[in-house]
């Protein structure tokens, strides 16, 4: 009886040792190194929408999740080609997060990363209102905007003011004359 119990325990220990030692995977097992995930844009801000593209999955559907995502991206595409989907980055997160892809019935951890920055990018030179940004701002145009009216405008204004003064004076003279 003691020999049989020892044989059973030895067999169990041998199986456990083989599993822990990392015996080669059987033929047809899924190779995790083939699955890759890329996020566009590569660096994003909290609350932004991102596209996740995954290669290396044999099926036509899957999911990509990360601690940075508000919810998993549902991936679709043609089997053996690129799967893609979109998701939103959670508010209040920053840093680099790993992406886990589930496809072909298997999870693939750390097959990509998403980098979340602290602030959204802001324009460095906002478009001036009214022009729609159709004409680029040149240094001379910027100076002309700040300089105000030139000499020509001043002369035209004085001539018009003088003509108006003469018209008012002539009209008041006509009214004073007794008829």
Q: Which domain holds residue 75?
A: 31-116
Q: What is the pLDDT of residues 92-115, one digit of tens each?
A: 999 999 999 998 888 999 999 999
In 3D, which of 54, 50, 123, 53 has the Cα closest to residue 90? 50
Which of the listed residues 116, 137, 162 is the one where a domain comes to its end? 116
Domain membership of residue 12 (yes or no) is no
State the pLDDT at residue 18. Answer: 42
* More confidently predicted of 60 and 79: 60
DSSP 149: S
The mean pLDDT of the chain is 76
* Distance (Å, whole) CA 100 – CA 86: 14
Domain membership of residue 53 (yes or no) is yes
Q: Which of 5-9, 138-142, 152-156 has the highest mean pLDDT?
A: 152-156
* Distance (Å, whole) CA 73 – CA 64: 5
Task: Evaluate whether 106 touches 131 at the Cβ level (below 8 Å).
Answer: no
* Distance (Å, whole) CA 151 – CA 34: 73
In 3D, which of 54, 49, 62 has the Cα closest to residue 90? 49
State the pLDDT at residue 94. Answer: 93
Q: What's the average model confidence in pLDDT over 1-7?
A: 43
């Amino acid at each position: 009886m003691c020999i049989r119990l020892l044989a059973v325990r030895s067999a169990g220990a041998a199986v456990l040792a083989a599993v822990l030692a990392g015996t080669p995977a059987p033929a047809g097992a899924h190779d995790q190194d083939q699955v890759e995930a890329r996020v566009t844009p590569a660096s994003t801000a909290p609350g932004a929408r991102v596209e996740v593209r995954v290669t290396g999955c044999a099926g036509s559907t899957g999911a990509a999740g990360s601690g940075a995502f508000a919810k998993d991206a549902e991936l679709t595409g043609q089997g053996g080609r690129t799967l893609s989907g979109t998701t939103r980055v959670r508010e209040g997160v920053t840093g680099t997060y790993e992406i886990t892809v589930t496809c072909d019935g298997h999870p693939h951890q750390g097959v990509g990363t998403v980098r979340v920055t602290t602030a959204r990018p802001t324009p460095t030179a906002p478009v001036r209102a009214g022009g729609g940004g159709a004409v680029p701002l040149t240094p001379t145009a910027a100076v002309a905007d700040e300089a105000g009216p030139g000499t020509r405008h001043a002369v035209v204004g004085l001539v018009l003011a003088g003509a108006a003064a003469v018209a008012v004076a002539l009209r008041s003279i006509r009214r004073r004359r007794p008829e």
